[in-house]
Chain A
Amino acid sequence: MHAFNYHRPTSIEDATKALAAAADGKYLAGGMTLIPTLKQRLARQSDLIDLAAIQQLRGIRDDKTGVSIGAMTTHAELAASPALRAKLGGLARLAECIGDPQVRNRGTIGGALANNDPAADYPAACLALGATIVTDRREIAADGFFKGLFETALDAGELITGVRFPLARKSAYAKFRNPASGYAIVGVFVAQCSGESRVAVTGARQSGVFRIEEMERALTKSWSPDAVAKLSVTAEGLNADIHASAVYRAQLITVMARRAVAAA
């Protein structure tokens, strides 16, 4: 690992100031993506701004309209939250199937969203549930947040402070995980919200998470596993690697969608 300066601010303001003052700085959340990258010298930063001491970035709050989750809330905290389990069970169960217990004990929802790995799990939940990503300077709808491979709508130095999820009538996630890495080979999040149903897929395209409108229309008409079981997805543009061919991934999307609806 190359050397860097370390900062541990206690407020959002001090964190953004420290980043702005750094030549080439980055925020450090759970470190579950950033530290392995630095260790392998795939990245080099002049400064790391650790968000761990900022209390404002922590916690899960729920009210009648939805659930707000602080950026520094860990995957393990999400998975164990009684409020989340009661109100957005699909999201709690998604958090439970990220990586392994030690990754879940450190990794955060804010870090995962900022990173936007094309096989990460939370982007599928955010897109399907129509979440809002809240930053130090604005609110960004999930539909406009995920911009492609490791790309998001975040500007330089912009800090995710939290994520707001509206309540869904039903939601569930089905994931076909890579047994070695834990990441999704294909993951499908389905949500039945007021008036519409949404389906978001992760792991299948290099550009990251995407919605399947044909499945959404079918589920809006009739919320049942059968409604999606017959809909085949084109393999065109899907990832093909040593783990799964594009055709197999296309098949997995249909199967995971069916399973998710059945579990919701």
Chain B
Amino acid sequence: MIQVSLTVNGASVTAEIEPRMLLVQFLREQLRLTGTHVGCDTSQCGACVVHVDGVSVKSCTMLAVQAQGAAVATIEGLAAGETLHPMQAAFRAHHGLQCGYCTPGMVMSALDLVRHNPDPSERAIRDWLDGNLCRCTGYQNIVKAIAAGAQAMRGPAASS
């Protein structure tokens, strides 16, 4: 067992864990933050995407001990009480999901895109989603939702 201390959605967490525990297991099984999903065994689907120190990563391909001292953000940390984050609201408004399994990863990945590129083109959105698979929607509405979410995040003043 090894001690790990980090923050998750702003709250400090310290725990004794096995070194082999994946970050996604730590979040889901230890902290009961089950919004982050596991969709594959091959690091390809992106259902598990969270932010570590502001950068999107696959939490199924990172050990929890590798997040020692880091700030982790998950889908649960986005909404302010009952008010959805603009990117979450855009997924709802544009029907960017069907079963919803891929959605937390899509939203967390999209927010990292917007950090680099506040006004992404459709091409840029599709390229960025290389690591996020959706088995339901065919991506059309996900792409629309991310464009709309990015626009909402730029604020009304920025929309043309």
Which residues from chain A sit less than 8 Å from chain B, CB to CB?
1-6, 8, 28, 31-32, 35-36, 38-40, 48, 50, 52, 76, 99-103, 105-106, 180-182
A101 cross-chain contacts in B, Cβ below 8 A: 56, 109, 112-113, 128, 130-131
B18 cross-chain contacts in A, Cβ below 8 A: 3
Interface string of B83-115 (1 = CB under 8 A from A): 000000000000000000000000001001100
8 intermolecular pairs with C-beta atoms under 8 Å apart? A31-B66, A32-B61, A52-B66, A99-B131, A101-B130, A102-B56, A103-B131, A105-B56
Smallest CB–CB gap between B40 and chain A, Å? 10
Which of A5, A36, A102, A181 lies in contact with B109, CB distance below 8 A?
A: A102
Q: Which of B37-61 contact A (CB under 8 A)?
A: 41-44, 46, 49, 55-58, 60-61
Instruction: Given A101-B130, A101-B131, check contact A4 B19 (CB 8 Å).
Output: yes
Interface string of B24-45 (1 = CB under 8 A from A): 0000000000000000011110
A5 cross-chain contacts in B, Cβ below 8 A: 19
B113 cross-chain contacts in A, Cβ below 8 A: 101
Smallest CB–CB gap between B126 and chain A, Å? 12
Instruction: Given A36-B42, A52-B66, A103-B43, check contact A4 B20 (CB 8 Å).
Output: yes
B46 cross-chain contacts in A, Cβ below 8 A: 100, 102
B121 at the interface (CB under 8 A from A): no
Which of A4, A8, A36 lies in contact with B43, CB distance below 8 A?
A: A36
Alpha-carbon distance A163/B57, docked complex (angstroms): 25
Please tell me if the beta carbons of A102 and B57 are within 8 angstroms of each other in the complex: yes
Smallest CB–CB gap between B92 and chain A, Å? 24
Main SS of chain B's interface residues? mixed
Please tell me if the beta carbons of A100 and B130 are within 8 angstroms of each other in the complex: yes
Which residues from chain B sit less than 8 Å from chain A, CB to CB?
2, 18-20, 22, 41-44, 46, 49, 55-58, 60-63, 65-66, 68, 109, 112-113, 128, 130-132
Alpha-carbon distance A28/B65, docked complex (angstroms): 12
Q: Which 10 A-B pairs have the closest CB atoms?
A: A100-B131, A6-B19, A100-B130, A1-B20, A102-B131, A102-B58, A35-B61, A36-B43, A105-B55, A6-B65
Instruction: Tell which of B49, B55, B132 has the most Cβ of chain A within 10 Å.
Output: B55
Smallest CB–CB gap between B111 and chain A, Å? 12
Alpha-carbon distance A32/B61, docked complex (angstroms): 7
Smallest CB–CB gap between B104 and chain A, Å? 14
Please tell me if the beta carbons of A8 and B41 are within 8 angstroms of each other in the complex: no
Alpha-carbon distance A6/B60, docked complex (angstroms): 17
Alpha-carbon distance A102/B60, docked complex (angstroms): 11
Please tell me if the beta carbons of A50 and B66 are within 8 angstroms of each other in the complex: yes
B130 cross-chain contacts in A, Cβ below 8 A: 99-101, 182
Alpha-carbon distance A8/B43, docked complex (angstroms): 23
A99 cross-chain contacts in B, Cβ below 8 A: 130-131
Alpha-carbon distance A38/B62, docked complex (angstroms): 11
Smallest CB–CB gap between B128 and chain A, Å? 6
Known contacts A39-B60, A50-B65; can you find 7 more A-B pairs with CB under 8 A?
A8-B65, A8-B68, A31-B61, A32-B61, A40-B41, A99-B130, A103-B58
Q: Which residue of A lies closest to B127 (CB)?
A: A101
B2 cross-chain contacts in A, Cβ below 8 A: 6
Smallest CB–CB gap between A83 and chain B, Å? 18
Please tell me if the beta carbons of A106 and B128 are within 8 angstroms of each other in the complex: no
